[in-house]
Amino acid sequence: MTEPMFNTVAIIGLGLIGSSVARGVKARGLANHIVGYDASPGVRRRADELALCNQVFGTPEEAVEGADLVLLAVPVGATADAVNAIAPHLAEAAILTEVGSVKAAVIRQVSDKLPPGAVFVPGHPIAGTEHSGPDAGFAELFEDRWCILTPCEHSTDAAVAKVTAFWQALGSQVEIMTPEHHDIVLAITSHIPHLIAYNIVGTAADLEEVTQSEVIKFSAGGFRDFTRIAASDPVMWRDVFLNNKEAVLEVLGRFSEDLAALQRMIRWEDGKSLQDLFTRTRAIRRGIIEAHQDTDQADFGRPHSHED
Amino acid sequence: MTEPMFNTVAIIGLGLIGSSVARGVKARGLANHIVGYDASPGVRRRADELALCNQVFGTPEEAVEGADLVLLAVPVGATADAVNAIAPHLAEAAILTEVGSVKAAVIRQVSDKLPPGAVFVPGHPIAGTEHSGPDAGFAELFEDRWCILTPCEHSTDAAVAKVTAFWQALGSQVEIMTPEHHDIVLAITSHIPHLIAYNIVGTAADLEEVTQSEVIKFSAGGFRDFTRIAASDPVMWRDVFLNNKEAVLEVLGRFSEDLAALQRMIRWEDGKSLQDLFTRTRAIRRGIIEAHQDTDQADFGRPHSHED
């Protein structure tokens, strides 16, 4: 048995991501102790019932006391409050890390609240599901996924190496980039996909000519996949768009411009350009399957649910 | 053993849908004979290897000879040519049906090519996968899905009842509506979802700031689900947009208008309106799961591929 990587890992926020990290740390023996906190008393109670941690504390201050790794897994908009609460209580040797979907804004919010000498490694595991809460997590969530670290002025090389090893131990590959680059990469690979999924579900709900019952019945034609994405946590996503405003607006501008071109191809019945685009997009799909970021299984034919 | 529903079912077009119907008819004993034709010699050869039909013919005329059910399963744009070829050869008692994703345009193209007295029941099974071709089909594709029939002037009540029973025997529920209503319902539940999926994959491919390798690596954040939809057959989808132009442009206008409103919420940091929309969209997801049109399984955590 190898030495655990950390003595005490404190996880602030025990939702999908936090609880998955807790399960992964436990399953792989990465720490002697796992402690946790969540702002919701109901989530704290559930975390106790699920035995996610050795101890769940009633305040974030108590949870981080003496921990050598502190992982924040809260909605981006709750980061500043959480750091305010814990900053004076961080152990001297503690590494603070987090998992926010936006990096530049989070770093701005965290940095000016940290005491001098505090060590902070901003990160973002590119993994998740459309479900939320402590019951939704699982230890394998990060396997074969990527985790992006975006070092800042509070990061040390040693701490970046340690957080890298932590995510690798959870099954992920790690990539280092600047916060600004992260924010534009995620705008196209995650934020805009969620935004347009939310948008089309809203458009469908508001159409007068088509009833909600029809939208539901005939959703297997493509729409249901958007509803899955649009079932993701509303608070988390509100915070993403408020905190990655510039990159999101930039990529959204591109998306709308391209959509207007596509609309024009349809209006003018330019079949060749339509077919060219629809053929070109297949190459990226092949790349994703080859990179093991998805399977080639025919998912529209997913197993049918027969439960009542 | 019950009497088969038809003596000979002829399937014109042996791709994903046609080959799934062939497999379903065989598995459930719905016909004494299944015969087929495909415009592609490679597909015809493959259909023979897979034993999809009792006989695969080299011309559509031969295939429909004597069949009492003729099912067209070709891209919408290939419908007119197929009907031109088979119309003079249809048996007197034959029912012609088809599976096109667009109904008003297909009915226009088919109707004026049919001899007087020919019986035609336009239909559309709301089922499919992102894969194409005869190998992609499977007998259970239509189970628990809906099939829409849109009777026209060439439809008789008896033929509509028979085609209804046929789809029910393949495991589907059947709904009857007008072609025009079908086309607007499908514009929102299928055509626009595909269009914006194709569009965002194109936008991502063209971004200068983000490499294709980054788009692929970090696709688990939502983008990969769009690439799956955008992997669907390019010719089929080109034809859908060319043939359902009006309904698609109408719904696309709504979508773009809603997206502009969402863009404005982000620019003005209207968190409340964002959160309200993101919460509202969850209700439709619940409806889809309750209607068994999707499972509640956390699909973003889908099984990871470990193959090389």
Lowest mean pLDDT among A211-215, B81-85, B119-123, B161-165: A211-215
Question: Which pLDDT belongs to residue B306?
Answer: 31
Instruction: Residue window 218-257, chain B: list those with CB within 8 Å of chain A.
Output: 218-232, 234-235, 237-239, 241-242, 245, 248-249, 251-252, 254-256
Question: Which pLDDT belongs to residue A294?
Answer: 81
Q: Which of B235, B281, B300 to mutate to probe the A interface, most A CBs <10 Å? A: B281
Please give the structure tokens belonging to residue A36. Answer: 């946790």
Asked if A227 lies within 8 A of B284 by C-beta distance, the reply is: yes
Lowest mean pLDDT among A107-121, B142-156, B212-226: B212-226
Question: Which pLDDT belongs to residue A4?
Answer: 93
Lowest mean pLDDT among A233-242, B224-233, B238-247: B224-233
Q: Which of B174, B182, B206, B284 to mutate to probe the A interface, most A CBs <10 Å? A: B284
CA B20, CA B13: separation in Å to the nearest integer? Answer: 11
CATH no. for A181-295:
1.10.3660.10
Q: Which of B72, B148, B83, B161 is nearest to B118 (CA)?
A: B83
User: Would you put residue B66 in left (φ > 0), alpha (ψ -120 to 50) or beta?
Assistant: left
Confidence of residue A298 (pLDDT cuts 50, 70, 90): low
Look at residue A297 and tell me whether its pLDDT is greater than 60: yes
Chains A, B: CB contacts within 8 A come to 391
Listing from the earlier edge strand, what are the strands of the sheet with A69-72?
A55-56, A31-37, A6-12, A69-72, A95-98, A119-125, A146-149, A173-176
Torsion angle, alpha carbons of B35, B41, B45, B48, to 10: 0
Instruction: Residue window 76-135, chain A: list those with CB within 8 Å of chain B.
Output: 77, 101, 126-131
From chain A, the residues in CB contact with B249 under 8 A are: 263, 266-267
Instruction: Residue window 159-198, chain B: list those with CB within 8 Å of chain A.
Output: 175, 181, 184-186, 188-198
CA A109, CA A93: separation in Å to the nearest integer? Answer: 21
The CATH fold of domain A6-177: Rossmann fold (3.40.50)
Asked if B305 lies within 8 A of A292 by C-beta distance, the reply is: yes
**Interface residue B208 vs chain A (CB under 8 A):** no
Listing from the earlier edge strand, what are the strands of the sheet with B173-176?
B55-56, B31-37, B6-12, B69-72, B95-98, B119-125, B146-149, B173-176
Residue B114, number of CB atoms within 10 A of its CB: 17
Confidence of residue A240 (pLDDT cuts 50, 70, 90): very high
From chain A, the residues in CB contact with B141 under 8 A are: 301
Q: For chain B, give the number of residues.
A: 308
Question: Which pLDDT belongs to residue A239?
Answer: 95
Look at residue B242 and tell me whether its pLDDT is greater than 70: yes
From chain B, the residues in CB contact with A258 under 8 A are: 199, 202-203, 206
Q: CA A40 → CA A37, A136, A277, B154, distances in Å?
A: 9, 16, 47, 63
Q: CA A28 → CA A52, A99, A289, B306, distances in Å?
A: 13, 20, 27, 19
A104 by Cβ neighbours in 10 Å (0-12 / 13-18 / 19+) ranks as: buried
- For range A182-207, the mean pLDDT: 94
Task: Render pLDDT for A33-83 as a digit per residue (tens, 0 to 9).
Answer: 999 999 999 999 999 999 999 999 999 999 999 999 999 999 999 999 999
Provide the shortest C-alpha distance from residue A111 to chain B (in Å). Answer: 23
Q: CA B70 → CA A58, B80, B148, B152, B196, distances in Å?
A: 69, 15, 17, 17, 34
Q: Which of A111, A91, A75 is nearest to A9 (CA)?
A: A91
**Interface residue B145 vs chain A (CB under 8 A):** yes
Domain B181-292 has CATH 1.10.3660.10: yes
**Interface residue A139 vs chain B (CB under 8 A):** no
Task: Render pLDDT for B120-172 as a digit per residue (tens, 0 to 9).
Answer: 999 999 998 888 899 999 999 999 999 999 999 999 999 999 999 999 999 99
A154 DSSP 8-state letter? T
Provide the shortest C-alpha distance from residue B30 to chain A (in Å). Answer: 22
CB burial readout B74-88, b (16+ within 10 A) else e: bbbbbbbebbebbbe
Question: Which pLDDT belongs to residue A284?
Answer: 86
From chain B, the residues in CB contact with A127 under 8 A are: 220, 300-301
**Interface residue A299 vs chain B (CB under 8 A):** yes
**Interface residue B207 vs chain A (CB under 8 A):** yes
**Interface residue B2 vs chain A (CB under 8 A):** no
Q: Which of B16, B15, B55 is nearest to B36 (CA)?
A: B55
Confidence of residue B307 (pLDDT cuts 50, 70, 90): very low
* Percentage of chain A lying above the pLDDT 90 cut: 80
Confidence of residue A306 (pLDDT cuts 50, 70, 90): very low
Instruction: Residue window 11-50, chain A: list those with CB within 8 Å of chain B.
Output: none
In chain A, what is the greatest distance between 2 CA atoms, to the nearest angstrom?
67
How is chain A split into domains, by residue range? Answer: 6-177, 181-295
CA angle A229, A235, A237 (to 5 degrees): 45
Provide the shortest C-alpha distance from residue B66 to chain A (in Å). Answer: 33
